[in-house]
A and B are shown apart, each in its own frame.
Chain A
Amino acid sequence: EDQVTQSPEALRLQEGESSSLNCSYTVSGLRGLFWYRQDPGKGPEFLFTLYSAGEEKEKERLKATLTKKESFLHITAPKPEDSATYLCAVFEYGNEKLTFGTGTRLTIIP
């Protein structure tokens, strides 16, 4: 049973076209939800940590939000350099490993 599910698998947007990526999770007790960005041939790069429902974090054109069942990564007026795979991951109580979703591959077309 998947603990972390990301959708869509892939998303193509025109430059400036805002959208959202979804991360749904099922854990017994959430310690933290993480968003990462991964470029081809590179390791994941940390973006945000969210700890409790209602929390929001922002960085440039990205904004992450959290509810009790899912997280959204909102991308406002994206640029081609925002093209990457975005990964969501969760830490739950009683488990020392970070569990990842399979990611959303985002392509921004100039």
Chain B
Amino acid sequence: GAGVSQSPSNKVTEKGKDVELRCDPISGHTALYWYRQSLGQGLEFLIYFQGNSAPDKSGLPSDRFSAERTGGSVSTLTIQRTQQEDSAVYLCASSSRDRGESPLHFGNGTRLTVT
């Protein structure tokens, strides 16, 4: 079946502009995660959605970052007033259960470059 789909695959934007990154999870997966991967760094947790529960936003680095998940499926990560330090690969993952023991399945990410 189809895996996690992210778009766009690459995004170049000017400093100060807003960007939206999209994630289509695996159908039926109730949990959705956003991570950020910078060059030479590990994956950094950003936000977690589970069903209709309030999202865990504890990893968002600043109030310029926000995310929503519509209809329990598609998610959008928005970065306002982008800065050069926001340049990274943004990865989305979904999981079939609401418990941590289930593996996360990742998309191929959106590579964001802020010039």
- CB within 8 Å of B: which residues of A? 4, 31-32, 34, 36, 41-46, 49, 51, 87, 89, 91, 95-103
- What residue of chain A has the Cβ atom nearest to residue B106's Cβ? A43
- On whether the beta carbons of B43 and A100 are closer than 8 Å, the reply is yes
For B93, the chain A residues whose CB sits under 8 A away are: 43
State which of B41, B45, B50, B108 has its C-beta within 8 Å of the C-beta of A98: B45
Query: In the bound complex, what is the Cα–Cα distance between A43 and B34 (angstroms)?
Result: 12
Query: In the bound complex, what is the Cα–Cα distance between A45 and B93 (angstroms)?
Result: 11
For B35, the chain A residues whose CB sits under 8 A away are: 100
Please tell me the number of chain B residues within 8 Å of chain A, measured between CB atoms: 25
Query: In the bound complex, what is the Cα–Cα distance between A41 and B6 (angstroms)?
Result: 13
For B106, the chain A residues whose CB sits under 8 A away are: 36, 43-45
- On whether the beta carbons of B33 and A97 are closer than 8 Å, the reply is yes
Q: Do A91 and B101 form a contact, CB below 8 Å, given A43-B4, A43-B91?
A: yes
Bitwise interface map of B from 76 to 108 toward A, beta carbon under 8 Å scored 1, else 0: 000000000000000101000001110111111
Query: In the bound complex, what is the Cα–Cα distance between A4 and B41 (angstroms)?
Result: 13
Question: How far is the CB of A50 from the nearest CB of chain B, in Å?
Answer: 11
- On whether the beta carbons of B101 and A31 are closer than 8 Å, the reply is yes
